[in-house]
Amino acid sequence: MTIDLGYAWDTLINSWPMFWYGIKLTVAFAVVGTVFGFLIGLIIGAIRGMPADPLDSPFTKFMKKFGKALTGLYIWVFRGTPMMIQACFIYYLLRPVINWGPVTAGFVIISINTGAYMAEILRSGIQSVDPGQTEAAKSLGMTNLQTMIFVIFPQAIKNTFPAIGNQLVVNLKDSCMMNAISVTELFFQSSSIAGSKMRFVEVYLDTAIIYLVLTTAATWLLNVIERKMTNKKTVALKEMSC
Amino acid sequence: MENPIIKVDHLQKHFGDLKVLNDIDFSVNKGEVISIIGSSGSGKSTLLRCINLLEIPDGGSISFHGKDIMDRSQSLTDYRSKVGMVFQSFNLFNNKNVLDNCIIGQRKVLKRNKDEAKAIAQENLKKVGMSAFEHADSTKLSGGQKQRVAIARALSMNPEVLLFDEPTSALDPEMVGEVLEVMKDLAAQGLTMVVVTHEMQFAKDVSDRVIFMDKGVIAEEGTPEEIFENPKNPRTQQFLSRYSAR
């Protein structure tokens, strides 16, 4: 077992344009997947976290039950199967119908997959908000939707931010599964480089280091945002202690 | 006599097999301050929550200016905006500062413009003595301060009736006074109020009418003098003697 570190370094420099191309796609997949997954998760999480209101009409009651069953199925399937299989299945299933490219398909699939995880994160976040908050909003006359958007979501998102942010880190890594539908993200590019040079250990060492840099940067960024979110308001108290 | 603002007829409420409210009849007239007293579990809070439809009655009716509030053709949000509620646990919006707590309902429900909503919020915060805290984070206030903001939030909707659900029960003893002072001021200004409370002195001094509830029924109802000086129902006598013995 030998690793030629000099060779690894030279490859990183020489093949940088190929690596860089892959990095851009990997980051794009992580960001798009996390953002759209988050939006999907908000909607699904809201449907699943919605308490049964005794004032609901029978139709609304039915729709809530139906919505919960349907979203439950979605979460069960997408969390219970590997994303690589989801990618292959959905990409090839729909290709004859909508004639999409692997990158477009990849964006859609990683978003749907992330949405399933986000939905469970946000559902627990929504349910962890004190029911008194909802009662207060209702007592002012706010509708269910207004209550969700202006009172519940901001608190649920804040409470679950570490878990939400973690999905970005997960997606940076898991987007490599998109190589199965020949998306030229970082892992796909690395395989190409390694295959053409017939030097696997050195090239994958480069790849591992690049992934580590990406995930470290993302973690750092998330920590900064989280600190800002929690610190912002303490200033106000000092100002007014007059 | 003028028509009542709120009229409750034969109200029934069960939680499972437990009958919490049994055939409750009472009405709230304009400008009246009504105190509802009684031991824990007597149904006081449930009655108040039914009036705001946070609990749904199983039977009977509640009408607001003669209109049945259970009738789904009426706007529930419109009704709720006219009947304010102050909670035992304050329930200030944790994601908003003091001022925004008082603004959000005005903006989203009453559709007031920003400046108007802000002016009204500031006016009400002044009323409860919380002007200096308008930019404070609502989670960082003391209990008494939170409750005063909650009152300002409810007042900012210009409600016709304000319901208080044990507003001082979750407060440290030294903070009860500041909240009761605010409530006394409001009563003096003619606000219609229904107050579920364990503060007997407040009920005695401020109310126009006192309702004593016991085991889900209104056991006795009358002026503060009638209830506190000459209670007729033995249950009322027993309940009040426990308070005066303290």
Tell me the per-residue pLDDT of A192-217, one tens digit each, with 9 for 90 and over: 999 999 999 999 999 999 999 999 99
The pLDDT score that the predictor gives to residue A232 is 59
Lowest mean pLDDT across A90-99, A232-241, B170-179: A232-241
Q: What is the mean pLDDT of residues A81-105?
A: 96
Nearest to B91 among A132, A155, A233 (CB): A132
Q: Which residue of A has its CA nearest to B89?
A: A132
User: Which stretches of chain B score pLDDT less than 50?
Assistant: none
CA pseudo-torsion sign B74, B75, B80, B82:
negative
DSSP string, A48-70: HHPPPPTT--HHHHHHHHHHHHH
The pLDDT score that the predictor gives to residue B1 is 55
pLDDT score of A240 more than 90: no
The pLDDT score that the predictor gives to residue B73 is 67
Confidence of residue A235 (pLDDT cuts 50, 70, 90): very low
SS3 percent helix, strand, coil of chain B, rounded to 5, is 40, 25, 35
Q: Report ipTM (2 d.p.).
A: 0.92
Nearest to B109 among A142, A154, A158 (CB): A142
Nearest to B93 among A136, A138, A242 (CB): A136
Nearest to A138 among B54, B78, B93 (CB): B54
Interface of B with A in 92-111 (CB under 8 A): 92-95, 97, 104-105, 108-109
Closest by alpha carbon to A79, among A71, A88, A69? Answer: A71
Question: If you average pLDDT over every residue of chain B, what do you get?
Answer: 93
Confidence of residue A124 (pLDDT cuts 50, 70, 90): very high
The pLDDT score that the predictor gives to residue B169 is 93
Burial class (CB in 10 A: 0-12, 13-18, 19+), B164: buried
Q: Report how far residue B96's alpha carbon sits from residue A233's, in angstroms, rounded to the nearest whole number.
A: 10
How far does the CA of residue B173 sit from the closest CA of chain A (Å)? 23
Confidence of residue A25 (pLDDT cuts 50, 70, 90): very high
- To test the contact with chain A by mutation, choose from B14, B91, B156 the residue with the greatest count of A C-beta atoms within 10 A, namely B91
- Which residues in chain B have Cβ-Cβ distances shorter than 8 Å to A237? 136-137, 140
Closest by alpha carbon to A110, among A33, A49, A47? Answer: A33
Question: If you average pLDDT over every residue of chain A, what do you get?
Answer: 91
Q: What percent of chain A has pLDDT over 90?
A: 83
- Which residues in chain B have Cβ-Cβ distances shorter than 8 Å to A234? 137, 140
Q: Does A130 touch chain B (CB under 8 A)?
A: yes
Map A74-88 to HEC letters: HHHHHHHCCHHHHHH
Find all residues with CB under 8 Å of B145, minimum gap 6, and list them. B130, B133
pTM of this structure? 0.87
């804040």: which residue's tokens?
Answer: A158
Segment holding B218, helix H or strand E: strand B217-222
- To test the contact with chain B by mutation, choose from A139, A142, A235 the residue with the greatest count of B C-beta atoms within 10 A, namely A139
Phi, psi (5° rounding) for residue B28?
-120, 120
Say if the Cβ atoms of A140 and B54 lie within 8 Å. Answer: no
pLDDT score of A242 more than 60: no
């690589």: which residue's tokens?
Answer: A84
The pLDDT score that the predictor gives to residue A239 is 45
Q: Which residue of A has its CA nearest to B154?
A: A140
The DSSP secondary-structure symbol of A151 reads I
Q: What is the mean pLDDT of residues A49-59?
A: 77
Map A180-222 to HEC letters: HHCCCCHHHHHHHHHHHHCCHHHHHHHHHHHHHHHHHHHHHHH
pLDDT score of A236 more than 70: no
Q: Does A150 touch chain B (CB under 8 A)?
A: yes
Look at A241 and A229; give whichever has higher pLDDT. A229
Q: What is the mean pLDDT of residues A133-144?
A: 94
Say if the Cβ atoms of A142 and B53 lie within 8 Å. Answer: no
Entry field: residues in chain A: 242
- pLDDT tens-digit series, residues B37-76: 999 889 999 999 999 999 989 999 999 999 898 877 678 8
Say if the Cβ atoms of A154 and B95 lie within 8 Å. Answer: yes
The pLDDT score that the predictor gives to residue A50 is 78
Find all residues with CB under 8 Å of B104, minimum gap 6, and list them. A140, A142, A150, A151, B93, B96
Q: What is the mean pLDDT of residues A161-182?
A: 95
Q: What is the mean pLDDT of residues A171-178?
A: 96
The pLDDT score that the predictor gives to residue B246 is 52
Q: What percent of chain A has pLDDT over 70?
A: 95
Nearest to A236 among B54, B136, B150 (CB): B136
- pLDDT tens-digit series, residues A216-226: 999 999 999 99
Nearest to A139 among B84, B89, B140 (CB): B84
Q: Does B142 touch chain A (CB under 8 A)?
A: no
Q: What is the mean pLDDT of residues A63-76?
A: 94
